[in-house]
Amino acid sequence: MPKTHKSSPPKTPQIKANRARRRRLLLALRITVQKEKAERSERHAGIRQAPRAGKPRTRRASRR
């Protein structure tokens, strides 16, 4: 015989407020991480565009 789903408890105002606060915090955290990643990529792009001192590297160094 198939099992029936248990109904969820009623949503109290306190539960709703806590969920909303958690959503806002997580959203702020995601936005902060996105901004940090964008800044980091911009910094790295600036480093990459700067010319190397001495001879240009034609071959990549061995990873081993």
Whether the pLDDT of residue 21 is over 70: the answer is yes
Q: In terms of residue numbers, what domain contains 40?
A: 12-48
CA 61 to chain centre: 31
Number of compact structural domains in the chain: 1
- Tokens found for residue 37: 């990643």
At 3, the pLDDT band (50, 70, 90 cuts) reads confident
Whether the pLDDT of residue 39 is over 70: the answer is yes
Q: Does residue 39 sit within a domain?
A: yes
Q: Does residue 38 sit within a domain?
A: yes
- Give the Cα separation of 61 and 23 in Å (integer): 46
Percentage with pLDDT > 90 across the chain? 52
Note the pLDDT of residue 55: 67
- For 54, the enclosing helix (H) or strand (E) is none
